[in-house]
Amino acid sequence: MTQPAPFTVDIPQTRLDAIRERVAAFRWDAFPDAGSWSAGAGVKDVRRLCDHWLGAYDWRAQEARINRLPQFTATADGQLVHFVRVTGDGSRPPILLLHGWPGSFLEFEELVAPLAADGHDVIVPSLPGYAFSGRPEHPIGPRRVGAILHALMHDVLGHGRYLVQGGDWGSAIGAWMAHDRPEALAGLHLNMVLIQAKDAAPTSKEELAWAAKRAELAQEEAGYSHLQGTRPQSLAYAMMDSPVGVLAWIAEKFGAWSDLPRTNMGTPDLFAGWSEDWLLTNAMLYLVTDAFPTSTWLYKGRIAEGSGSFPGGARVRVPTGVAAFPDPVFPPPPRSQAEKTYDVVRWTEMRDGGHFAAAERPGAWLADVRAFVREVG
């Protein structure tokens, strides 16, 4: 373990120039359109992002914005971890906020200050293999990541008990932390229920309908997960060579998974929910750090460690809150289904908002986290 060291983002200009050259060299005139958003990220929208990238986007301005957040690095359980940390007055438990793929710590940018004002110490790490965190030696899964982040919270930062909030991979990591170290967690708040016990089979009409819908959506939407879980190395060769490819691969998920206006053909209005600058800066965190390859390793690591579900009979006893945002690709289960695995003390059916809840609907997300903290004391 190491003591936290202050960290400042400062990307060499040569790296920025190399990325820009690759974007400028993309052969749009030779690029076929397989059907816009029906076949992946829409060509019109990706080209709009690239035009902004080359014409108006200012990484240095974004870098300065990121550096307004107090950032640190430390080695926890053998892994270098980058994290944002803002301290409150200690009147509330520390809270660990966990992002997923293809997001980043930027999803919580607007929420750090309000939570610290409430009295929390707020810690927002980049997951191992992401952004400015170190690279694992081999693919690791959410259970191992949970052990690393517990070491960060307990051994490095000295927190005895703390809260965890997560969506996407963050929900899986947080769930395993609650399963493996219940004595360390004062509460678990999720905006996606990803991990369940093997014996938590759907039985009611509502549960069976949800399971059927999830299976139907997975058939259409889970190709990326299968590829990243089985052949991430082959994908990495292409992505390391193409900033436009990384941008499109990531932007597709923000279009498909966010709560956005859509045409009757299903095409999302990407820029109704996300600015060009936000989407590009999030993608740049994968590019300027060469993190795209290792960011996908969690998918393969989950398979290797068998952490896609809890064992049969397992139950999470940590008080759990669920903000059930209407994710268009990963719809939340009925409360009765989640209660087969978790001790659900708060359940909120959200009117709108999608997969990236903290960034899409920060006000609703914050209100629910605050209410959950009041309930668990």
Predicted confidence (pLDDT) at residue 326 exceeds the cutoff of 90: yes
User: Which band of pLDDT confidence, cut at 50, 70 and 90, is reported for residue 61?
Assistant: very high
Predicted confidence (pLDDT) at residue 1 exceeds the cutoff of 80: no
Predicted confidence (pLDDT) at residue 376 exceeds the cutoff of 90: yes
Whether residues 168 and 56 share a domain: the answer is no
Predicted confidence (pLDDT) at residue 16 exceeds the cutoff of 90: yes
Average pLDDT (316-335) is 98
Predicted confidence (pLDDT) at residue 50 exceeds the cutoff of 90: yes
User: Which band of pLDDT confidence, cut at 50, 70 and 90, is reported for residue 36?
Assistant: confident
Predicted confidence (pLDDT) at residue 178 exceeds the cutoff of 80: yes
User: Which band of pLDDT confidence, cut at 50, 70 and 90, is reported for residue 377?
Assistant: confident
Task: Show the tokens assigned to 253.
Answer: 């998920």
The pTM is what?
0.98
Distance CA 167, CA 164 (A): 10
**Please, what sign has the CA dihedral across residues 124, 342, 369, 212?**
positive
Task: Show the tokens assigned to 175.
Answer: 């769930």
Residue 6 falls inside a structural domain: no
Distance CA 178, CA 288 (A): 33
Distance CA 85, CA 69 (A): 8
**Residue 142 contacts by C-beta under 8 Å, 6 or more apart in sequence?**
169, 172, 173, 175, 176, 195, 298, 301, 302, 307
Residue 283 is predicted with a pLDDT of 98
Whether residues 171 and 242 share a domain: the answer is no
Whether residues 200 and 81 share a domain: the answer is yes
Backbone phi and psi for residue 63, each to the nearest 5 degrees, phi listed first: -60, -45
CB 254 within 8 A of CB 270: yes
- For residue 335, the number of C-alpha atoms closer than 13 Å in the C-beta half-sphere is 13
Whether residues 71 and 185 share a domain: the answer is yes
Predicted confidence (pLDDT) at residue 69 exceeds the cutoff of 80: yes
Instruction: Report the number of distinct structural domains present in the chain.
Output: 2
Predicted confidence (pLDDT) at residue 285 exceeds the cutoff of 80: yes
Residue 264 is predicted with a pLDDT of 87
**Residue 138 contacts by C-beta under 8 Å, 6 or more apart in sequence?**
297
Whether residues 83 and 191 share a domain: the answer is yes
Query: Is residue 125 reached through a cis peptide bond, with omega within 30 degrees of 0 on the bond before it?
Result: no
Residue 212 is predicted with a pLDDT of 98
Whether residues 192 and 325 share a domain: the answer is yes
Residue 18 is predicted with a pLDDT of 98
Going by the DSSP 8-state scheme, the letter that residue 153 receives in this structure is I
Whether residues 273 and 334 share a domain: the answer is no
User: Which band of pLDDT confidence, cut at 50, 70 and 90, is reported for residue 240?
Assistant: very high
Give, in degrees to the nearest 5, the angle at Cα 256 between 253 and 262. Answer: 150
User: Which band of pLDDT confidence, cut at 50, 70 and 90, is reported for residue 2?
Assistant: confident
User: How much of the chain is in helix, strand and coil states, percent to nearest 5?
Assistant: 50, 15, 35
Boundary-marking domain end, from 247, 280, 303 = 303
Mean predicted lDDT score pLDDT of the chain? 97
Predicted confidence (pLDDT) at residue 35 exceeds the cutoff of 90: no
Residue 110 is predicted with a pLDDT of 98
Whether residues 111 and 201 share a domain: the answer is yes
**Please, what sign has the CA dihedral across residues 98, 266, 271, 294?**
positive
Residue 3 falls inside a structural domain: no
User: Which band of pLDDT confidence, cut at 50, 70 and 90, is reported for residue 76?
Assistant: very high
Q: Which domain holds residue 246?
A: 11-62+220-303
Residue 4 falls inside a structural domain: no
Write b or e for each residue in 268-280: b if 16 or more Cβ atoms lie within 10 A of its Cβ, otherwise e.
Answer: bebeebbebbbbb
Residue 227 falls inside a structural domain: yes
Residue 265 is predicted with a pLDDT of 84
**Please, what sign has the CA dihedral across residues 46, 168, 298, 163?**
positive
Whether residues 41 and 152 share a domain: the answer is no
In DSSP terms, 125 is beta-bridged to 83
Q: Is 49 exposed, middle or buried (0-12, 13-18, 19+ CB in 10 A)?
A: buried
Boundary-marking domain end, from 282, 303, 324 = 303
User: Which band of pLDDT confidence, cut at 50, 70 and 90, is reported for residue 346?
Assistant: very high
CA 282 to chain centroid? 11
Q: Of the ranges 28-42, 64-78, 161-175, 316-330, which one carries the lowest mean pLDDT score?
A: 28-42
CATH label of the domain that carries residue 80: 3.40.50.1820
Predicted confidence (pLDDT) at residue 336 exceeds the cutoff of 90: yes
Whether residues 86 and 234 share a domain: the answer is no
Whether residues 163 and 194 share a domain: the answer is yes
Q: Which percentage of the chain shows pLDDT scores above 70? A: 100
Whether residues 195 and 336 share a domain: the answer is yes
Boundary-marking domain end, from 303, 329, 356 = 303
Average pLDDT (308-323) is 98
Q: Per-residue pLDDT tens for 84-105?
A: 999 999 999 999 999 999 999 9
- For residue 276, the number of C-alpha atoms closer than 13 Å in the C-beta half-sphere is 15
Residue 93 falls inside a structural domain: yes
